[in-house]
Chain A
Amino acid sequence: MAVLVVAETDGANLPRGTLATITAALAIDPEVDVLVLDEQVDDASEAASGIVGVRSVIKASGPGLAGNLAENLAPAVVETAKDYGYVLAPAGTWGKNLMPRVAAMLDVQQISDITGIVDGDTFIRPIYAGNALATVRSRDPVKVITVRGTAFAVAEAPGGSATITDGPEVAAHDIARFVKRELSQSDRPELAAARIVISGGRGMGSGENFQLLDQLADKLGAAVGASRAAVDAGYVPNDFQVGQTGKVVAPELYIAVGISGAIQHLAGMKDSKVIVAINKDQEAPIFQVADYGLVGDLFKIVPEIADAL
């Protein structure tokens, strides 16, 4: 059964999560089509057609594309989905907002945030903040699935040569209107895509002290994240948050600074390849998942690391 990937795009930029979702789609079935619903649908479709393995790109059109509202996009996905056995999207906030609306319209029970594929009906997904892995089998005729981006390799692009076909007309319903988007400005890589992530916790003591991590991040080309405790304390905005209720990351190197290691934080980073923890409390639970630990004053150790680079 062919797979429809509902692509999160940003103009001609295809986020890591979308590329990973295409890898997951190809693991289910070789016939993979990509539905593009971006405001800049021409650029986004062009970019999607270059992904290796994609059969065709379905380009939506219409006034409903503006603003990225689930109320407008979901009917277009449902209309396109009728020819497919699977509908997949990346499990970022974009896909989490849109796909359950699609699933309910199709009367199917969505499978959220899969990290593994057993067979065409059976998938693995983390539950309880990743403290358990559930293997679930779906009985629905169409499987609506969101995919955890860090659990699958990135599909290759460019290099593909998918055809671009015209897809659904997206109407604008007046029940919801886009007002504004305020994206955090940063020259650093995105948290979800970064090769190295440095996160600070309550031990940072203040928002100003995060500059210490910024300096190290600049040296390493790393992204800066935070624990929920640091977000709750108001040190940094919520889009820094790594954890069960924030972003899930799995970089090659994760450096946890002044983070005790609450279960909910570990859920967001414990699949990182190498984990380093710096904490003054040697009993902190973060050391149980760390590959390397340094016990001591982070205000001394972090500059020492920067100097040693």
Chain B
Amino acid sequence: MKILVAVKRVIDYNVRIRVLPDGSGVETDNVKMSMNPFDEIAVEEAIRLKEAGTASEVVAVSIGPARSQETIRTALAFGCDRGIHVQTEQPPEPLAVAKLLAGVVAAEEPGLVILGKQAIDDDSNQTGQMLAALLGWPQGTFASELVIGDGVFDVTREIDGGLETISINAPAIVTTDLRLNEPRYPSLPGIMKAKSKPIEAKTPADYSVDVAPRLETVTVAEPPPRPPGRMLESAAELVQILREEKGVL
């Protein structure tokens, strides 16, 4: 079985976001970029399936500006076999990404596509579900466990009240939640090997997909600040304030 994993280049999760003064977005110049953490989990899961002999080949695909290639290289250093880069000027919206991925799926015919459940930049949480819809495939979203059976995948999903298990037919879409696995660090030999692995360069036109945005960003603003807090001396003082001044107890 071939596995396709989708990876996105985002601002590193440790970076403190700065909103641009003109309200057009957030500062990305000279800011550390990394693979979206949920996509690392997707890559790790695919590599484990390859190591277990379940997957024959793992292909990493990224959609975005030229430097998304760095993120594909990271996926190759993890152990993915080859990469596909669909180059766009701006990071496209989830619907366009899903359409491009559907094009990649049509060409590659994987048995399983694993994606992060959301990217930590736009926090949309849409692409996997949209890809499943476009392909007419079942979806195992927010997975914390994935068991590969004969033509079926049993997916344990993180839902609001606890856990849910569904059984979905191959081919299928799985999106990762935090507890699915703990991604490894790429090894030095892995990083060296990644340099010679192939990355295929594609454009949206290759898949006949219109990536023009449907949403116009009117403005990006800082959230309103909270008023400064007070340090208290004792638990008794806290209880008194919460009870008498704030009336929340």
Binary flags per residue of A187-200, CB closer than 8 Å to B gives 1, else 0: 00010100110000
Q: Which 8 A-B pairs have the closest CB atoms?
A: A304-B235, A100-B129, A109-B214, A104-B130, A104-B133, A100-B126, A176-B138, A308-B239
Segment at the interface with A among B43-51, B93-101, B185-193: B93-101
Is there an interface contact between B16 and A263, defined as CB atoms closer than 8 Å? yes
With A and B bound together, what is the CA distance between A305 and B242 in angstroms?
11
With A and B bound together, what is the CA distance between A205 and B174 in angstroms?
33
Is there an interface contact between B235 and A301, defined as CB atoms closer than 8 Å? yes
Interfacial chain A residues near B240, Cβ < 8 Å: 308
Asked if A50 CB lies within 8 Å of chain B CBs, one says no
Majority DSSP secondary structure for residues of B touching A: mixed
Q: Which of B121, B220, B248 has the most CB of A within 10 A?
A: B248
Asked if A163 CB lies within 8 Å of chain B CBs, one says no
Binary flags per residue of A75-101, CB closer than 8 Å to B gives 1, else 0: 000000000000000001110111111
With A and B bound together, what is the CA distance between A103 and B131 in angstroms?
11
Interfacial chain B residues near A184, Cβ < 8 Å: 161-162
With A and B bound together, what is the CA distance between A132 and B18 in angstroms?
8
Q: How far is the CB of A166 from chain B (nearest CB, A)?
A: 26
Q: How far is the CB of B176 from chain A (nearest CB, A)?
A: 11
Is there an interface contact between A304 and B234, defined as CB atoms closer than 8 Å? yes
Interfacial chain A residues near B16, Cβ < 8 Å: 131, 263
> Looking at chain A, what size class is its interface with the partner chain?
35 or more
With A and B bound together, what is the CA distance between A263 and B37 in angstroms?
14
Give the total of B residues in contact with A, Cβ under 8 Å: 78
A: residues with CB less than 8 A from B are: 67, 69-71, 74, 92-94, 96-105, 107-113, 118, 122, 126-140, 174-184, 190, 192, 195-196, 220, 228, 231-232, 237-239, 241, 244-245, 247, 252-253, 263-264, 270, 273-277, 282, 287-295, 301, 304-305, 307-309
Interfacial chain A residues near B184, Cβ < 8 Å: none
Of B139, B158, B213, B231, which contacts A293 at CB under 8 A?
B231
Is there an interface contact between B215 and A138, defined as CB atoms closer than 8 Å? yes
Is there an interface contact between B129 and A101, defined as CB atoms closer than 8 Å? yes
Is there an interface contact between A237 and B223, defined as CB atoms closer than 8 Å? no
Is there an interface contact between A93 and B239, defined as CB atoms closer than 8 Å? no
Is there an interface contact between B232 and A304, defined as CB atoms closer than 8 Å? no
Is there an interface contact between B161 and A239, defined as CB atoms closer than 8 Å? yes
Binary flags per residue of B124-150, CB closer than 8 Å to A gives 1, else 0: 111111111110011101101000000
Is there an interface contact between A304 and B130, defined as CB atoms closer than 8 Å? no
Interfacial chain B residues near A103, Cβ < 8 Å: 95, 126, 130, 133
List 11 additional contacts besides A131-B19, A176-B167, A247-B160; criterion CB under 8 Å.
A109-B95, A110-B94, A127-B122, A130-B223, A134-B122, A135-B221, A220-B249, A231-B178, A245-B177, A264-B13, A293-B229
Q: Which of B127, B134, B222, B238 has the most CB of A within 10 A?
A: B238
Is there an interface contact between B159 and A101, defined as CB atoms closer than 8 Å? no
